[in-house]
Amino acid sequence: MRERCLQNGLFVFALLACHCRGEPAPSVAPATSLPVAERSVGAAAASSSPAASVVPDAGAVASAPGPAPSASGAAAPSPSAGAGPSPEPEEPALLAADGTPLPQTEARPSVTDERFKRRMQRVADAILSGDVEKARSTFFPLVAYAQVKDVQKPERDYRFRLMAHFERDVREYRKALGKAAERAEFIGVEVPQARVEWLKPGKEGNRLGYFRVLRSKLRFRLPDGKERSFELTSMISWRGEWYVVHLHGFE
């Protein structure tokens, strides 16, 4: 009985003390234990962080899932979906950084690289459309011609003989294709590799050597399926690249 009174006195003392400090009164109800399953769920929820959320990224596309993670947990790299076609190869430089013309080389030109294919496509586009401007960059450069040819006033010879004949030949080939020219297809160019030769200085009135190939063929397919071929009379090299000099005949 004495112990019971002592407990009651202590409780009343604690109650008065909490009241004075503004704290809530202690509960006299016994603690209730949660079932094991509920304690496990609560512990997991308390320990999880926002980074562990399984909510999908709002910007993700359902039909295009991202790459699967690797064994280390990092996402495996994937090719860019927005990658476009490969850029066209740049034309080789003709001038040095100080503006002086670069010298000739003895490198033999290729007929399989992308620069050559692009030049031939430009010649074909000029013929199919009748627009000579599309093919001017395929013609032997003036800066090279001025170094190669041992002639008086090379710029004048270049413009009023070589380029004038090239313009005429483009128009003649366009006319030969007829009304269906703009709907024709360029098949490709045949370059006779056995005819490629290195011409030493003095061979064709030239001060420098170069590779030359004669009688290549430009091939086209008309809308009715028939094929037409036109002569590409002469190409010569400059610094390992083929350029057109005569499209149809020597003049």
Provide the pLDDT for residue 3.
Answer: 52
| Both structure tokens of 223 | 């809308």
Q: How far is CA 209 from the centre of its chain?
A: 36
Task: Find residue 149's DSSP bridge partners.
Answer: 206
Provide the pLDDT for residue 195.
Answer: 94
Q: Within the chain, what is the greatest distance between any pair of CA atoms?
A: 137
- The answer to whether 219 and 229 have CB atoms below 8 angstroms apart is yes
Provide the pLDDT for residue 223.
Answer: 93
What H or E segment, with its residue span, contains residue 198? strand 197-199
pLDDT surpassing 50 at residue 14: no
Q: What is the average pLDDT across 104-108?
A: 96
- The answer to whether 183 and 169 have CB atoms below 8 angstroms apart is no
pLDDT surpassing 50 at residue 131: yes
**pTM score, two decimals?**
0.64
Provide the pLDDT for residue 88.
Answer: 56
Integer Cα distance of 184 and 224 in angstroms = 9
Angle at CA of residue 131, ends 130 and 134, nearest 5°: 130
Integer Cα distance of 86 and 90 in angstroms = 12
| Both structure tokens of 169 | 């030949």
Provide the pLDDT for residue 60.
Answer: 32
pLDDT tens for 134-175 read 999 999 999 999 999 888 889 999 999 999 999 999 999 999
- The answer to whether 227 and 220 have CB atoms below 8 angstroms apart is yes
pLDDT surpassing 90 at residue 109: yes
Provide the pLDDT for residue 248.
Answer: 95
Per-residue CA distances from 121 to 76, 127, 134, 189 (Å): 40, 10, 10, 9
Domains parsed from the chain with CATH numbers: 114-246 (3.10.450)
pLDDT surpassing 90 at residue 45: no
Integer Cα distance of 216 and 76 in angstroms = 50
**Single-letter amino acid, residue 157:** D
Residue 84 φ/ψ, nearest 5 degrees = -95, -170
Average pLDDT, the chain: 75
Asked which of 56-60, 127-131, 192-196, 215-219 is least confident by mean pLDDT, the reply is 56-60
Instruction: State the pLDDT confidence band at 240, using cuts at 50, 70 and 90.
Output: very high
Integer Cα distance of 140 and 173 in angstroms = 20
Closest CA to 139 of 211, 206, 238, 228: 238
Q: Ramachandran region of residue 90, left (φ > 0), alpha (ψ -120 to 50) or beta?
A: beta
Provide the pLDDT for residue 87.
Answer: 55
Q: What is the average pLDDT across 226-231?
A: 96
Q: What is the average pLDDT across 73-98?
A: 61
